[in-house]
Amino acid sequence: MASNSLAYNEQAGAGETAELGQEAAATMSPSGAFGLFSSDLKKNEDLKQMLESNKDSAKLDAMKRIVGMIAKGRNASELFPAVVKNVASKNIEIKKLVYVYLVRYAEEQQDLALLSISTFQRALKDPNQLIRASALRVLSSIRVPIIVPIMMLAIKDASADLSPYVRKNAAHAIQKLYSLDPEQKEMLIEVIEKLLKDKSTLVAGSVVMAFEEVCPERIDLIHKNYRKLCNLLVDVEEWGQVVIIHMLTRYARTQFVSPWKEDGGAEDSEKNFYESDDEQREGTERRKKPYAMDPDHRLLIRNTKPLLQSRNAAVVMAVAQLYWHISPKSEAGVISKSLVRLLRSNREVQYIVLQNIATMSIQRKGMFEPYLKSFYVRSTDPTMIKTLKLEILTNLANEANVSTLLREFQTYVRSQDKQFAAATIQTVGRCASSISEVSDSCLSGLVCLLSSRDEVVVAESVVVIKKLLQMRPAQHGEIIKHMAKLLDSITVPVARASILWLIGENCERVPKIAPDVLRKMAKSFTSEDDLVKLQILNLGAKLYLTNSKQTKLLTQYILNLGKYDQNYDIRDRTRFIRQLIVPNEKSGALSKYAKKIFLAQKPAPLLESPFKDRDHFQLGTLSHTLNTKAAGYLELSNWPEVAPDPSVRNVEVVELTKEWTPAGKAKKENPAKKFYSESEEEEDSSDSSSESESESGSGSEEEADSSEDSSASSPSEQEGESASESEGRSKRTAKKSWKTRAKSDSEDEEKENEKSKSSDSSSAESSSAEESSSDAESESESDSGPDSRKVTKEKEGRPKQARSTLPKDVSLLDLDDFNSVSTPVALPTPVLSPSLRADLEGLNLSTTSSVINVSSPVFVPMKTHVLLHRMSGKGLAAHYFFPRQPCIFGAKMVSVQITLNNTTDQKIENIHVGEKKLPAGMQMHAFSPVDSLEPEGSVTVSMGIDFCDSTQTASFQLCTKDDCFSVNIQPPVGELLLPVAMSEKDFKKEQGMLTGMNETSALIVATPQDFTPSVILQKVVNVANVGAVPSGQDHLHRFAARTVHSGSLMLVTVELKEGSTAQLIINTEKTVIGSVLLRELKPVLSQG
């Protein structure tokens, strides 16, 4: 990690602050300078002592108690100096608690808080990404204006950090800095712009959040990232999804033209949801050119759809509002099902979702009509939920379902929850007014309710009846008479007032009753509620005008009472009415019109949904819920008449091709990354991979990425049959096991069965997978199973992926699923195909020549070794591996392939080998310099090293344009060999010459299944590059090779003995290498 030291070059300024800080802390602590504080509270004295003790446990206890105080909201600020000293504590838990404390009190104790800054600055350079990230978090949370420049610097650095986690925290820090100092906006926008380009799913949500907070008006920043964000969306964490979807909804409304057929937009959508669709389309087509949706618009709609299935209610709601606001009306229907699903959730979620459904159901009834019954009310629902459900039911009511609904409402009216019952009555009124067919039955139902014992119900009924009668001033004399009678029993003021008003309005229809009612009211006038008194006055005035003979005196009596009432409203009204109706000398011109004024035709009230006016707010927002504009609410703009230039979203040509026409290569990396969308592509990818590297390992990679079909489809033609056969077999077994299970009733039995059956099936399965995964040696390996094999298999699979693409851990995060086109990755293909190798062997057997032929490797392990980690290489990562090929640079060299990856987001230029530090005798042929490496690109180069048949390390420098990194390659002993094909006879002959000093041997103990020929072969060739020698005896396995440098023979024999032991013998001139090889082979062969 020599390179790390480079990262530590702190600015001189920062270093100074650090020193100052420490000095200050040092002078303060021992001097008892807290005179100021200590007098306040003695009881915190022990905490201070604990914090100053040397023991971490005491400090930790103290910090825990302090955090407890903070949690309860008690003031612990006086401990600030004592706490802040521990900010550099080695103990991570103390440190974290100190951070908690700092963030809470730094604002109050700004000067002292500055003491801690240097610690964070240092931590920002820590190699551990968690420490870097948390330092940035705390530093940016300290709301001290003086450190704004430091924060700005830290954010800039962190936004270029290699770890996406740190970059995520940088995005969060942007918002914090912005709220602390809005003047930094311009600089912060630059950082946001940079982070928006980030391809990590981890960062996406946070940076969009920052964008929304800092510069939501800069919609132009989104253009270039729009497609990327759409494509990443499914893989972003759920909270980020919500923020991104809301932002994209706004974006879409500014950039695309309306997909709705009507011109007006949302307002007039309700009038024809069903019938008119076709007509409308025809109409619009005639009027203007046919509407074609922008492919980007479509992309957004398509990519958000899977998120309707999210478990997170906020995500579902976000998608729902997106569909509502930007999708064509015919497609918005898909959201209703998901929204209805959310109604199973807890009451708070229900509340918000129902509110939104209420707004939607006003405009587009059809969407929720199929789910009518899901909104039926249960007696256990909280009242607020009940009212909302009722609201929705009313909105959904139409001629077809109204009778069902009214029956349901009858139950609700009798509910014990009177508030709800009253709401139901209003609802019935609304139904009656909107659907004329049922208004009569509604009215009679309401009249029945008038005899209810509950006042609230009766009162509400009266009010609703009043409204209904007003709307349809037909002959409803009977009802009015009935209501007049009720005046004796009803005490609720609103109801009484309503009845009086009704009688007054219809006094000419009920000429006998009205004066009598007035008489009764005159008697009780003084004890009535103010509301009722006003209506009595009105009734009196109206009767005076129509029937003055009977009521003149009564009215005057009432007016006199009103004149001396305590309430000035009533006194005012009395004066007004008197002047208006009672003719006297002073009466003005108005009194002529008194009758017209009082008995004018009054427009009927419109019974409307209280949710009517909410539709101008974006759904799912706080503003919509509150029905007022909340702070920071971003208006959803109307669709533009003409779409802005769509080409702004085009990314440069190279990237565009990447996005839209992913080449076979790019697809191949997909399965691991694109989590949701992989399956379609998987087949292609497995095809392509099996073509390009038909030797071993291709399947195991797919395997790791799952899916049945990949294992079936990945093996290339030659193997296809056997693999599918075994696959089929395993399926059958598996199916059997499930059937048995399905039949068996008892749980216990079930498990028994399962154990046995499932073990069968899975082993069968695993072997089939195995076969398909490694073509070259599948014949010999079909009955594998031991774990060791599995382990090696896995090892092969993983690094192989790393080599052929990017290192796994990096690629997982990298959201960009596309590899740079410009960097074709060289796939190491063995020179000889397996069949050719078999031919060669055959040749060797037939010609009994004793010539030692170098043959092709039996097996090339895919294990790669790290040459340069990306952290220490400033983003340049290098891995090397041994292709086991004869080296093209020299016969005595071992060929090494190095894969270089660029994990930064800048080009790395001029990668070459610098100074070589080789032990005496060793030689190295460097690879030709790589001029430039694109971001995310990788390139494979090969070089040759002559290790002189030793396992000494070859050290050299890997240089880029700017930096040099020291790297080492140490060869495993098995790679210093080249396989040799020879006959059994030759082998015996050679072995005979290499005895005594030249022979080393060891005894191995292992289980019999480890000693099957295939397992032994596999194990040996995995460790060492040797060739198998055909053996006449079953218990003898022979392998031959020669060393690369000197060409000395290396003969390996595994002789199986009685029981589970075996003798491993190595004959070679190079005794040192021989014994090293023995040491390496022994554990491999003996492990179980």
Partner 1 sequence: MIHSLFLINCSGDIFLEKHWKSVVSQSVCDYFFEAQEKAADVENVPPVISTPHHYLISIYRDKLFFVSVIQTEVPPLFVIEFLHRVADTFQDYFGECSEAAIKDNVVIVYELLEEMLDNGFPLATESNILKELIKPPTILRSVVNSITGSSNVGDTLPTGQLSNIPWRRAGVKYTNNEAYFDVVEEIDAIIDKSGSTVFAEIQGVIDACIKLSGMPDLSLSFMNPRLLDDVSFHPCIRFKRWESERVLSFIPPDGNFRLISYRVSSQNLVAIPVYVKHNISFKENSSCGRFDVTIGPKQNMGKTVEGITVTVHMPKVVLNMNLTPTQGSYTFDPVTKVLTWDVGKITPQKLPSLKGLVNLQSGAPKPEENPSLNIQFKIQQLAISGLKVNRLDMYGEKYKPFKGVKYVTKAGKFQVRT
**62-81: contacts with partner 1 (CB under 8 A):** 64, 67-68, 70-73
Q: Are 501 and 463 in contact (CB under 8 A)?
A: no
Give the x/- contact pattern for partner 1 in 122-161, rule: CB under 8 A: ------xxxx-x---x--xx-x------------------
Stretch that binds partner 1, among 61-69, 483-491, 930-938, 950-958 (CB under 8 A): 61-69
Q: Would you tell me how many other CB atoms lie within 10 Å of the CB of residue 449?
A: 23
Is 54 among the residues that bind partner 1 (CB under 8 A)?
A: no
Is 317 among the residues that bind partner 1 (CB under 8 A)?
A: yes
Spatial separation of the C-alpha atoms in residues 351 and 344, rounded to whole Å? 11
Stretch that binds partner 1, among 713-721, 764-772, 829-837, 860-868 (CB under 8 A): 764-772
| Residue 979: strand pairing partners | 1041
Spatial separation of the C-alpha atoms in residues 701 and 947, rounded to whole Å? 32
Is 346 among the residues that bind partner 1 (CB under 8 A)?
A: yes
Contact residue for partner 1 among 27, 679, 835, 850 (CB under 8 A): 679
Q: Are 898 and 880 in contact (CB under 8 A)?
A: yes
**CA 838 to chain CA mean position, Å:** 52
CB of 359 to partner 1, least distance (A): 14
Contact residue for partner 1 among 633, 780, 853, 1047 (CB under 8 A): 633
Q: Are 498 and 458 in contact (CB under 8 A)?
A: no
Q: What is the DSSP letter of 466?
A: H
Contact residue for partner 1 among 242, 536, 981, 1081 (CB under 8 A): 242
Spatial separation of the C-alpha atoms in residues 980 and 586, rounded to whole Å? 133
Spatial separation of the C-alpha atoms in residues 1063 and 1002, rounded to whole Å? 6
Token pair listed for 934 = 């694109």
Q: Give me the residue label for tokens 């070859």.
A: 954
CB within 8 A of 43, min separation 6: which ones? Answer: none
Is 889 among the residues that bind partner 1 (CB under 8 A)?
A: no
Give the x/- contact pattern for partner 1 in 541-580, rule: CB under 8 A: ----------------------------------------
Is 751 among the residues that bind partner 1 (CB under 8 A)?
A: yes
Spatial separation of the C-alpha atoms in residues 1017 and 438, rounded to whole Å? 88
Residue 631 burial class via C-beta count within 10 angstroms: exposed 0-12, middle 13-18, buried 19 and up: exposed
Spatial separation of the C-alpha atoms in residues 862 and 443, rounded to whole Å? 84
Spatial separation of the C-alpha atoms in residues 135 and 643, rounded to whole Å? 45
Q: Which of 571, 593, 794, 807 is nearest to 701 (CA)?
A: 794
Which H or E element spans position 12? helix 12-28
Q: Which is nearer to partner 1, 346 or 584 (CB)?
A: 346
Is 1069 among the residues that bind partner 1 (CB under 8 A)?
A: no
What stretches of 894-950 adopt beta strand conformation (E)?
Answer: 894-902, 908-917, 923-925, 930-933, 938-946
Is 415 among the residues that bind partner 1 (CB under 8 A)?
A: yes
CB within 8 A of 727, min separation 6: which ones? Answer: 711, 712, 765, 768, 772
Q: Are 973 and 951 in contact (CB under 8 A)?
A: yes
Q: Which is nearer to partner 1, 658 or 789 (CB)?
A: 789
Residues 157-196 that bind partner 1 (CB under 8 A): 163-165, 168-169, 172-173, 175-176, 179
Q: Which is nearer to partner 1, 557 or 633 (CB)?
A: 633
Residues 968-987 that bind partner 1 (CB under 8 A): none
Residues 581-600 that bind partner 1 (CB under 8 A): none
Give the x/- contact pattern for partner 1 in 802-841, rule: CB under 8 A: -------x--xx----------------------------
Token pair listed for 527 = 């004890």
Is 1009 among the residues that bind partner 1 (CB under 8 A)?
A: no
Indicate left, alpha or beta for 394 from its phi (over 0: left) and psi (-120 to 50: alpha).
Answer: alpha
Spatial separation of the C-alpha atoms in residues 108 and 113, rounded to whole Å? 9
CB of 409 to partner 1, least distance (A): 13
Q: Which is nearer to partner 1, 699 or 974 (CB)?
A: 699
Q: Which is nearer to partner 1, 677 or 952 (CB)?
A: 677
Q: What is the DSSP letter of 287?
A: H
CB of 36 to partner 1, least distance (A): 22
Is 520 among the residues that bind partner 1 (CB under 8 A)?
A: no
Which H or E element spans position 1053? strand 1049-1056
Stretch that binds partner 1, among 41-49, 620-628, 841-849, 1060-1068 (CB under 8 A): 620-628
Q: Which is nearer to partner 1, 298 or 481 (CB)?
A: 298
Q: DSSP H helical segments within 79-163, as ranges?
A: 80-84, 92-105, 110-113, 117-123, 129-141, 148-159
**Sign, Cα dihedral of 875, 881, 883, 888:** positive
Q: What is the DSSP letter of 590?
A: G
Residues 692-731 that bind partner 1 (CB under 8 A): 703-708, 711
Spatial separation of the C-alpha atoms in residues 11 and 119, rounded to whole Å? 14
Residues 766-805 that bind partner 1 (CB under 8 A): 766, 769, 785, 787, 790
Is 660 among the residues that bind partner 1 (CB under 8 A)?
A: no
CB of 996 to partner 1, least distance (A): 43
Spatial separation of the C-alpha atoms in residues 418 and 287, rounded to whole Å? 54
Stretch that binds partner 1, among 289-297, 668-676, 883-891, 1035-1043 (CB under 8 A): 668-676
Stretch that binds partner 1, among 5-13, 223-231, 574-582, 669-677 (CB under 8 A): 669-677
Q: What one-letter code names the amino acid at 461?
A: S
Q: Which is nearer to partner 1, 374 or 724 (CB)?
A: 374
Contact residue for partner 1 among 41, 146, 448, 626 (CB under 8 A): 626
Residues 95-124 that bind partner 1 (CB under 8 A): 96-97, 99-100, 104, 107
CB of 369 to partner 1, least distance (A): 13
Spatial separation of the C-alpha atoms in residues 171 and 423, rounded to whole Å? 48
Is 344 among the residues that bind partner 1 (CB under 8 A)?
A: yes
Q: Which is nearer to partner 1, 387 or 950 (CB)?
A: 387
CB of 676 to partner 1, least distance (A): 4
Q: Which is nearer to partner 1, 128 or 968 (CB)?
A: 128
Q: Would you tell me how many other CB atoms lie within 10 Å of the CB of residue 782?
A: 15
Contact residue for partner 1 among 154, 234, 469, 981 (CB under 8 A): 234
Is 318 among the residues that bind partner 1 (CB under 8 A)?
A: yes
Is 684 among the residues that bind partner 1 (CB under 8 A)?
A: no
Which H or E element spans position 232? helix 226-232
Q: Which is nearer to partner 1, 761 or 938 (CB)?
A: 761
Q: Which is nearer to partner 1, 107 or 984 (CB)?
A: 107
Q: Which of 1028, 867, 889 is nearest to 940 (CA)?
A: 867
Spatial separation of the C-alpha atoms in residues 722 and 724, rounded to whole Å? 6
| Residue 347: strand pairing partners | none
Stretch that binds partner 1, among 9-17, 282-290, 760-768, 1000-1008 (CB under 8 A): 760-768
Give the x/- contact pattern for partner 1 in 362-391, rule: CB under 8 A: --------x--xx-x-xxx-xxx-------
Contact residue for partner 1 among 430, 673, 879, 1045 (CB under 8 A): 673
Stretch that binds partner 1, among 302-310, 459-467, 818-826, 833-841 (CB under 8 A): 302-310
Helix (H, G, I), strand (E, B) or coil at 792: helix
Q: Are 878 and 904 in contact (CB under 8 A)?
A: no
Using CB under 8 A as the binding criterion, the count of chain residues that bind partner 1 stands at 141
Is 625 among the residues that bind partner 1 (CB under 8 A)?
A: yes
**CA 786 to chain CA mean position, Å:** 39
CB within 8 A of 575, min separation 6: which ones? Answer: 563
Contact residue for partner 1 among 337, 602, 917, 985 (CB under 8 A): 337
Q: Which is nearer to partner 1, 150 or 316 (CB)?
A: 316
